[in-house]
């Protein structure tokens, strides 16, 4: 059996049983698969933010999380027949560009002050 459909049925939202007797190469992607991929991408980015020590990798993980959000927006936009999701994801990309610029400027500033990119050493405000 195909893994994706089994995953959907495990959630309890399996497709109609009529699709089961179709050719085994038929792969039907529902919104749930988009949601699962987006969730996994977001989680990977979250782990990167929390677990990595390199400030640059932390910033890259934030970009991954924004990508996950965009994926959700676009998928729902198509299902709802509304262009709003696509326009909103363009705005999210804009915000991501500004965030990357500021974050990288902060990276350079941090590197000048501390000669390191380790986030654990930037702990002045930790008390």
Partner 1 sequence: MTESAASGVLLTGGAGWAFVVFAVLTLGTAVAVVVAKNPVHSALFLLASFLVVACLFILEQAEFVGAVQILVYGGGIMVLFLFVIMLVHQRMVAGAKAFQHQWDIALLFLLVFLVPFLYVLGTEKFPEIPQNPDAFRMIGTRVVGNTQAVAWSLYRDYLLPFEVASVFLLVAMVGAVVLGKRSVEKVD
* Residues 51-80, interacting with partner 1 (CB under 8 A): 51-54, 56-57, 59-61, 63-64, 67, 70-71, 74-80
Question: 118 in the Ramachandran plot: left (φ > 0), alpha (ψ -120 to 50) or beta?
Answer: beta
Q: Whole-number minimum distance, CB 77 to partner 1, in Å?
A: 7
Touching partner 1, residues 2-31 (CB under 8 A): 4, 11-13, 15-16, 18-19, 22, 25-31
Q: CB nearer to partner 1: give 1 or 108.
A: 108
Nearer to partner 1, 106 or 127 (CB): 106
Site string for partner 1, 76-105 (x = CB under 8 A): xxxxxxxxx-xx-xxx-xxxxxxxxxx-xx
Residue 54 Ramachandran class (φ > 0 left, ψ -120 to 50 alpha, else beta)? beta
How many CB atoms sit inside 10 A of residue 43's CB?
A: 13
Helix (H, G, I), strand (E, B) or coil at 23: coil
Q: Is 38 exposed, middle or buried (0-12, 13-18, 19+ CB in 10 A)?
A: buried
CB-nearer residue toward partner 1: 117 or 127: 117
In angstroms, give the least distance from the CB of 91 to partner 1. Answer: 6
Q: Are 99 and 62 in contact (CB under 8 A)?
A: yes
Nearer to partner 1 among residue 78 and residue 127 (C-beta): 78
Minimum CB separation from partner 1 for residue 106, in Å? 6
Closest C-alpha among 58, 72, 65 to residue 44: 65
């Amino acid at each position: 059996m195909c893994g994706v459909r089994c995953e959907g049925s495990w959630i309890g939202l399996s497709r109609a049983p009529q699709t089961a007797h179709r050719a085994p190469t038929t792969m039907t992607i529902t919104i749930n698969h988009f949601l699962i991929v987006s969730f996994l991408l977001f989680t990977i980015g979250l782990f990167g933010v929390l677990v990595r020590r390199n400030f640059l990798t932390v910033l890259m993980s934030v970009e991954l999380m924004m990508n996950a959000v965009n994926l959700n927006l676009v998928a729902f936009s198509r299902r709802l027949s509304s262009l709003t999701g696509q326009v909103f994801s363009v705005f999210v990309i804009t915000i991501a560009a500004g965030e990357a610029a500021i974050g990288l400027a902060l990276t350079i500033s941090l590197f000048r002050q501390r000669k390191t990119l380790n986030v654990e050493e930037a702990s002045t405000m930790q008390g």
